[in-house]
Amino acid sequence: MGIQIEHPGLLTTLQDLGRTGLQHLGVPVNGAMDETSHRMANLLVGNAEDEATLEITLSGPRLHFQEDAVIAVCGANMAPMIDGEPLPMWRPVRVRAGVRVLFGRPQIGCRAYLAVAAGFDVPAVMGSRSTAVRGAYGGFNGRALRKGDVLPLRSPEEAHTARWVGLLAHKQNRFAFPNWSVSRHKMPYRVTPQPLRILPGRHWQNFPVAMREQLVAAEYRVGNDSDRMGYRLSGPALDARRSHDVLSEGMVTGAVQVPPGGQPIILMADHQTTGGYPVIAVVIGVDLPVVAQLAPGETLRFKLATQEESYAAAIAREQQLELVRQALAVRLR
């Protein structure tokens, strides 16, 4: 019993908020690429924010629910359908055993997140349910989902279910949802293109002024070989000659590395713990979901920010999540 995978999609993995605390042993963090959508999806079904969700990439899966569940889909709009009808996003949806949920290709964004009330019943590995594809541990059997897999679900407590069922109209239908949703303009993907905010990196000073100016003036294209490890950008090459000889050191998600070829790479959730290329800049934490929602072929620009702006943006995001939390608490009373 659980969710049967009738079609796996391009890359569908379980992810949570990551495997922290073990980088000194070389253990990468992994975790949801778009943390905001992941947390929101969990909030909407009453889960803790670090519960694992399904991260669905670029081309969606077909899921067959073998038991009743409350789900929420946030992130990229991949035109999800439930038994042939549009599945509304950004809100809880009660689904009955037997329904099929189908994802298409993204209309906006790159990654969708599906949360299930009470969570997926897979063991935590080193404190996390995130899938580490490289290394093959965590998540569901340490790998992306395949056709025929059955993802086991934890059973929600009865009191929990009752609250949600009371919230949702038309209990007899195959699926039901409330007429409200989380406000869409608060979501991480860019309705209007905004530059990614960066802070000077560890080797910012090693790059000539002209190169730093170029980084914020130029437009970069997201390469087709971009993945959960890193976003490979193409655009005007950055000359890193003077800073080639750096020793490998601990890297951070969002680091903009400049390899000898001069085409920058933004390190993402699956990046290895250490790296040896100079870091010209670092994308601020709150903008990482924006990167995660950029699909190969899309373009981006960088904009220099300050620590103050970064902190203010982090606080603003927490306030938005808190508003959702409070609104849900009122509706569930």
Partner 1 sequence: MAEAAPNTPQLYAMGDRALVAEFGRSLNAGVNARVRAAAEHLLAHRLPGMTDVAPAFAALTVHFDPLQVAAHYRTTDPVEAMRTALQHALTKAPDLPKRKSRSIEIPVCYGGEFGEDLRLVAQHSGLSEEAVIEAHAAPDYHVYTLGFLPGFAYLGGLDRRLVTPRLESPRKRVPAGSVGIGGDQTGVYPFETPGGWNLIGRTPITLFQFDEQAHAVIEPGDRVRFVAIGARDFQLLRDKR
Nearer to partner 1, 85 or 308 (CB): 308
- List 61, 201, 264, 278, residue binding partner 1 (CB under 8 A): 201
Work out whether the CA dihedral 325, 72, 89, 92 comes out positive or negative.
negative
141 is an interface residue for partner 1 by CB under 8 A? no
CA distance 31 to 244: 30
Query: Phi, psi at residue 214, to the nearest 5°?
Result: -65, -40
- List 272, 295, 298, 321, residue binding partner 1 (CB under 8 A): 272
- List 108, 168, 237, 252, residue binding partner 1 (CB under 8 A): 252
Residue 155 neighbours by CB under 8 Å, 6+ apart: 118
Nearer to partner 1, 83 or 309 (CB): 309
304 is an interface residue for partner 1 by CB under 8 A? no
Report helix, strand and coil shares of the chain as percent, to nearest 5.
Answer: 20, 25, 50
Query: Phi, psi at residue 242, to the nearest 5°?
Result: -75, -15
The region of 100-108, 173-181, 185-193, 245-253 touching partner 1 under the rule CB under 8 A is 245-253
Query: Phi, psi at residue 159, to the nearest 5°?
Result: -60, -40
The region of 58-66, 85-93, 184-192, 312-320 touching partner 1 under the rule CB under 8 A is 312-320
> Is 128 buried (19+), middle (13-18) or exposed (0-12) by CB count in 10 A?
buried
282 is an interface residue for partner 1 by CB under 8 A? yes
Report the alpha-carbon angle 90-71-160, nearest 5. 110
Residue 185 is given by DSSP the state G
Residue 236's closest CA among 221, 256, 246, 252? 221
251 is an interface residue for partner 1 by CB under 8 A? yes
The region of 48-56, 196-204, 258-266, 324-332 touching partner 1 under the rule CB under 8 A is 196-204
The region of 48-56, 70-78, 83-91, 302-310 touching partner 1 under the rule CB under 8 A is 302-310
Count other C-beta atoms under 10 Å from residue 33's C-beta. 26
Count other C-beta atoms under 10 Å from residue 104's C-beta. 13
136 is an interface residue for partner 1 by CB under 8 A? yes
- List 83, 91, 100, 135, residue binding partner 1 (CB under 8 A): 135
Three-state DSSP class for 291?
A: helix
202 is an interface residue for partner 1 by CB under 8 A? yes
224 is an interface residue for partner 1 by CB under 8 A? no
125 is an interface residue for partner 1 by CB under 8 A? yes
22 is an interface residue for partner 1 by CB under 8 A? yes
The region of 36-44, 47-55, 182-190, 307-315 touching partner 1 under the rule CB under 8 A is 307-315
Is residue 274 within 8 Å of 251, Cβ to Cβ?
A: yes
Question: What is the full DSSP assignment across 300-317?
Answer: E-EEE--HHHHHHHHHHH
Q: Which of residues 83-102 bind partner 1 (CB under 8 A)?
A: none
Report the alpha-carbon angle 17-4-170, nearest 5. 85
Nearer to partner 1, 181 or 320 (CB): 320
The region of 4-12, 85-93, 128-136, 290-298 touching partner 1 under the rule CB under 8 A is 128-136
What is the binding site for partner 1 (CB under 8 A)? 20-29, 125-126, 134-137, 199-202, 247-255, 272-274, 279, 282-285, 307-308, 310-311, 314-315, 318
